[in-house]
Structure 1
């Protein structure tokens, strides 16, 4: 799991990175809100740890931007010394998922992080678990995707792309983020490689609302893979009514 920490105090930023590293997470640290927002152009994070008071923009503004552009994910933990009830209410109302007071208490901090990740990604906490979404089951160890119980024949790259999408359901993903995650590099301008693979997945996996998902193209940015309520198929007398 990749975590972003936005904290301008050097010693506290180092402590956060150290605690997360010791707990087995990868943490990227940013001293300003603007530096973090720039990083979002070509990186994806599974959790955001946000200070309220920053030297450029407020944590409140950053959280508001993230929620407007990325939806319900990633989960966000406010880590701040501002503990007035009005501040807590405002932070949660704008889209934060949890609120933790400074100074950091290591045990509680890691426990909160793990709890947020479990709630946000219940099927992807460990690679040896099956991922279930709609009519799909992804067996990560066997590198198999099943649709309604049937194995779908995918190339290795198609499987990697599908797995990345299912692990990031609900998130707005830029083309660069997807390409870096699946191919290890950003493609040249004008490349249709990603679009070709997306088109194949739409067909092979039947990525439609009647299977509980929807893959949307977002103009000039990338894609959003969403969970939707499956549409029941009318049968029998009801279908002919």
Structure 2
């Protein structure tokens, strides 16, 4: 999971970044709205922790920008010094998913972040089997059934395929994929990513007639496109 933190105070950014890394998440920090804007346009994140009074943009404007600009808006936690009910209501109404009043205990911050990320990952995150269109995935043996044919994937290929299915119709940066699957963003490993995607595409026959296709977004990453006539994200459901 990748988390981006934006707060006008560098010490707050450092504090939150440390908490996120202790939880096992990858965290990036900024101290103004402009650099955060560029990061969100350039990279893919699972969660935004945003100071309500971030420099260059106020919290309400930033929430509106996230909702209206990003292809798939990540959940947002607003952190602010204000604890009045009106302030909390304003932030939630503007689109925030949660509101934390500063200063807050480390354990509380960790619990709120974990709870929000669990919710964002979908209710079927811990099912042993899940279906995406014609693809039936078994998490116990890393296998996928397509048209009754069992396809055995390596552990990394399975993780990669599931990552794309979970984020269908969303462009994923190479950095996001490398961090999520290989826990690294090292550029020397990009060849590994390309080979794995090629194998997943071939093994699962990811073609329009099967409801999904993977294509390269030049200079950025990859995208799994779904076709509504065959399968869509609304088809995703756990198997009985």
Structure 2 counterparts to residues 29-178 of structure 1, below 5 A: 29-70=29-70, 73-122=73-122, 130=128, 132-135=130-133, 136-139=135-138, 142-147=141-146, 150-152=149-151, 159=158, 161-169=160-168, 171-173=170-172
1: CA distance, partners of 2:46 / 2:109 = 16
Contact kept, 8 Å, 1:73 with 1:120, in 2: the verdict is no
Q: Scaled by the length of structure 2, what TM-score is found? A: 0.67
**Counterpart residue number, 1:26:** 26
Pair 1:110–1:155, CA change in 2 (3 A): closer
Sort the Cα spacing of 1:28 and 1:200 in 2 relative to 1 into closer, same or farther, 3 A.
same
> Which of structures 1 and 2 has the larger relative contact order (alpha carbons within 8 angstroms, sep 6+)?
2
1:162 positional shift:
2.5
Match of 2:234 in 1: 229
Is residue 202 of structure 2 the alignment partner of residue 204 of structure 1? no
Alignment check: 8 A CA contact 1:124 1:167 kept = no
Q: 1:128-186 deviations in whole A, cap 9, x for unaligned?
A: x6463544444457443334765346699865652331343574546886688789659
Residues in 1 aligned to 2:176 and 2:113: alpha-carbon distance in whole angstroms: 23
Report how far residue 125 of structure 1 moved: 6.2
SS at match of 1:204: coil
Gaps of 5+ in 1: 187-192, 231-241
Please give the TM-score of this superposition, normalised by the length of structure 1.
0.67
Unaligned runs of 5+ in 2: 189-193, 227-231, 236-240
Q: Number of residue pairs matched?
A: 221
- Taking a change above 3 Å as real, the CA distance of residues 149 and 111 of structure 1, as seen in their structure-2 partners, is farther
